[in-house]
Amino acid sequence: MEQVPLSHVLILSSCLFFLGIYGFFSRRNMITMLMSIELILNSININFIAFNKYLYPHQLEGVFFTLFIITVAAAEVSLAIAIIINLYRKFNTIDVEDTNTMKF
């Protein structure tokens, strides 16, 4: 593992990050957008772990941040899903294009 340079790990994560970004923009379905967000969060987690491992091995901060991000992600997804279900009841769709009442 030590032969893998840090930058490669980071590039992996940033590829994942921008995949998430692309997915977030290109999808109209809220659930798939949520999945894109999960990808983004995971890419961040990889970063934290990688930094912890490569640059600051004497600490555990990266681990903790990952831990908290995962926790928050769990909370976020549960709320997001609740909202999506509620929207589905109201609009009978979960397409973001159709749920645009918050404008002007």
Residues numbered 7-36 forming contacts with another protein, rule: CB under 8 A = 7-12, 14-29, 31-36
94 scored as a contact of another protein (CB under 8 A): yes
Binding to another protein, residues 42-81 (CB under 8 A)? 42, 45-46, 49-50, 52-60, 63-64, 66-68, 70-79, 81
CA atoms within 13 A on the CB side of 55: 13
91 scored as a contact of another protein (CB under 8 A): no
Tell me the one-letter amino acid at 32: T
Nearest approach in angstroms of CB 91 to another protein is 11
Q: Report how many residues bind another protein under the rule CB under 8 A.
A: 81
Among residues 76, 104, 77, 98, the alpha carbon closest in space to that of 29 is found at 98
Nearest approach in angstroms of CB 92 to another protein is 10
**Cα 22 to Cα 4, 68, 86, 101, 102, distances in angstroms:** 27, 25, 26, 24, 23
